[in-house]
Structure 1
Amino acid sequence: MSEADGLRQRRPLRPRVVTDDRQIPGTKDCSSFSGRVFRVTFLMLAVSLTIPLLGAMVLLDSPIDPQPLSFKEPPRLLGVLQPNTKLRQVERLFENQLIGPESIANIGDVMFSGTADGRVIKFENGEVDTIAQFGSGPCKTRDDEPTCGRPLGIRAGPNGTLFVADAYKGLFEVNPWKREVTLLLSSDTPIEGRKMSFVNDLTITRDGRKIYFTDSSSKWQRRDYLLLVMEGTDDGRLLEYDTETKEVKVLLDQLRFPNGVQLSPAEDFILVAETTMARIRRFYVSGLMKGGADLFVENLPGFPDNIRPSSSGGYWVCMATIRSTPGFSVLDFLSERPSIKRMIFKVTENYNFKNQNYN
């Protein structure tokens, strides 16, 4: 044997992979059949969802006619805006005894509020007592509100009485000690040719003569607040009621959901929360700027509701919801997309979001 033959014999053998290429009978046919069934099922599901959606977009009317709104990018929640958990540490008063208390006022150590079931209530010595109701029951759902009434803004006057704004009934003065109710201004009274559909908050002068209040819309009622926000209707107003002359004046018009209102300590201007626009407007009632208006603050980190003075000379502003950044704010996203708003409310038109039990 030659040297070359010996080298060839000593060359290592390569491993050989043995595979079984035999196909189990019927496997390919079953896999193909399952894939076809899945595709057909998915297609039928997509068609069943798309056709009603397209039909709703074409045939149904939208309850709102939204206009595009423009917002700046929300401020980042840093520094003084940094989220905290302080409100989780508060003491809960009268828990499970109240239904939707809104504004709060006090006379001495006695507190007062208005609730979602149409009552004006008194908190004294650990007890809850009803002192007034502007409408009549039943008061179980939002659809009952127009007849039941919905007290919102409430303030203590200089003579130991309360001034109350009811969303459906108008402005009232209530003597909580005698339980006497006086209607000051009915919502049925047209103001400069327009009705008041959503009387909201109020603030009064120290002498009790002037009441400044908001009418959030002449089109939408309080129970339709979601439609008001989504449509961005600019028919809200700031008004003045004189308790002596009984005259009513429109101070600001074309507001988008005017909500909380607060007179300054010097009584020279009024702050108005314009909820839909995430800002607070200022109207001057005295001084060199009397009759003028400007922006007090804009591009808030949320959509403002009530405004009340703080002990430090500033103001407490409650936010109905936060505009997250970084994050996603639904209202900011939809503000410039009115067509999406229309489609949403066309599809959900048959869902009665108003008819919900308060409990």
Structure 2
Amino acid sequence: MAGGDEVNRMFLFVPIGVGLMIGSVLTIAYVRSPVSAVPVDDFRVMSDFEWAQVENNDLQRGRRILPELVQPESIAVDEHDNLYTGLKGGRVVKVINPGKANQSVINLTESFDYAKESKRNKKRPLGFRLHGSKLYFADAFQGVIMIDSESHTYDVIVDFNDVSPPLLFLDDLTITSDGKTIYFTDMSVKWNYDDVTLAITEGDCTGRLFKVDVLTKNTELILDSLCLPNGIEIVENETHVLLSEHNYRRLALVNLESAKVVRHIPLPAGPNNIRKRKNGGYWVAMLYIPEPGHFVTWAPVFRQILAGALGSEGTLTKFNLSQGLAVKLNENFEPESIHLDLEGKLSQGVTEVSELSDGTLALGSAISNGITLVDPLPPPVDPLLSTDVST
């Protein structure tokens, strides 16, 4: 009997010991976690949107060019359909006659290093815009930079230290039609480009919207407490801007005069860059589809433990970036269609959709090399015009 009691105690203590060990590991992960996770509510998923209940392979039709270009996240298009983009490592390039037999690439940063005198030794050119021969972009680490595409000279419009607290994670910008004012986003005052997965895991809402006078370089804060604002687009009348708030899966329409959000547009995934369509309306790129129950919807304590256990790089593996998706908005900012490559055959990790003059879509990506050129999309089918020929 004594021996049996000892065996019973052993079977009792083993699960208790394992439980204590697991509890200790989880506690350590929570305490040492780099994030301070906060609640994130009001998530939407694909099934919540009638316009998203479609299946198509629209973003599989086309080709990928220049695979030597590493992660071109944003793409500007000039009047001749030449492309401008920035690459991982800091190069800025111009692609002449993209996809054609006489296609060529010019390195616009070959003769200079725009971060040479900076106290930060990193570069990551992200959001791009053209105004005449001047190419403006938001570098995640350095600030707002201008390159003259004709003279191949540059100017720092906004240095990261020009505001307080300093700019930490610039992502995108837009410019007024007269070229005098730039609006740009700083995604977080806590997390930089290298730790964007931690900003998402935490539910960070410390992002900011700024404007800068291009001539005087005077920079002003317009709005703060934004939830990971990456993409930005100025609307037609230039009284508002449309912002992406990735952490809340929504767009925010901001009145520039009152500096207030006047409308939210919910989406089924975290939006990235926003660009105008040629015939009115907007394109919104989305990096990944978060399935129901994705860890970003977990309670703060569990997200904090996950970040503590996996760190920034480990957390990145929990995002499925192997799919491509983009949403088309009408002129009233209402989503009207979704376009997909769920198998990731051509389009993956889409961060921007820009249109060429013939309707071809040039896609930027945070994970893929090369520029994806998607064939012009077919016009939408009007169900009222369809005819039943079965009889």
Could you state the TM-score of these two structures normalised by the residue count of structure 2? Answer: 0.69
Distance 1:237 1:151, change over 3 A: same
Cα pair 1:118 1:135 within 8 Å, conserved = no
Q: Compute the displacement of 1:48 (Å).
A: 6.5
Distance 1:46 1:112, change over 3 A: farther
Pick the structure with greater CA Rg.
Answer: 1
Hey, what's the Cα distance between the residues in 1 that align with 2:43 and 2:315? 30
Instruction: Specify the SS of the correspondent of 2:154.
Output: strand
Aligned twin of 1:162: 135
Does residue 255 of structure 2 align to residue 293 of structure 1? no
Alignment of 1:22-101 (within 5 A): 51=21, 54-58=24-28, 60-76=31-47, 79-81=50-52, 82-94=54-66, 96-101=67-72
Alignment of 1:264-303 (within 5 A): 264-285=235-256, 290-298=258-266, 300-303=267-270
Cα pair 2:169 2:191 within 8 Å, conserved = yes
Q: Compute the displacement of 1:350 (Å).
A: 9.3
Does residue 278 of structure 2 align to residue 311 of structure 1? yes
Q: Compute the displacement of 1:329 (Å).
A: 3.1
Cα pair 2:146 2:154 within 8 Å, conserved = yes
| Cα-to-partner distance string for 1:194-244 (whole Å, 9 max, x where unaligned) | 111001100000111000000001111011100111111221011100112
Aligned twin of 2:360: none
Alignment of 1:169-248 (within 5 A): 169-189=142-162, 191=163, 193-248=164-219
Hey, what's the Cα distance between the residues in 2 that align with 1:358 and 1:83? 23
Distance 1:246 1:98, change over 3 A: same
Cα pair 1:118 1:134 within 8 Å, conserved = no
Name the structure with the higher strand share.
2
Question: Which of 99, 124, 127 is residue 104 of structure 2 equivalent to?
Answer: 127
Q: Compute the displacement of 1:245 (Å).
A: 2.7
Hey, what's the Cα distance between the residues in 2 that align with 1:124 and 1:184? 26
Cα pair 2:201 2:304 within 8 Å, conserved = no
Cα pair 1:271 1:296 within 8 Å, conserved = no
Q: Which runs of 5+ in 2 are unaligned?
A: 1-6, 98-102, 317-366, 370-391
| Cα-to-partner distance string for 1:227-270 (whole Å, 9 max, x where unaligned) | 11111122101110011232111111101100100001221210
RMSD: 2.8
Instruction: Specify the SS of the correspondent of 1:311.
Output: coil
Hey, what's the Cα distance between the residues in 2 that align with 1:350 and 1:204? 33
Aligned twin of 1:330: 295
Identity of aligned residues (%): 27
| Cα-to-partner distance string for 1:170-208 (whole Å, 9 max, x where unaligned) | 01110122210111111122x2x3111001100000111
Instruction: Specify the SS of the correspondent of 2:121.
Output: helix
Instruction: Specify the SS of the correspondent of 1:348.
Output: helix
Hey, what's the Cα distance between the residues in 1 that align with 2:237 and 2:222? 18
Hey, what's the Cα distance between the residues in 1 that align with 2:312 and 2:185? 31
Aligned twin of 1:16: none
Distance 1:358 1:57, change over 3 A: farther
Instruction: Specify the SS of the correspondent of 2:108.
Output: strand
Could you state the TM-score of these two structures normalised by the residue count of structure 1? Answer: 0.75
Cα pair 2:208 2:229 within 8 Å, conserved = yes
Does residue 121 of structure 2 align to residue 147 of structure 1? yes
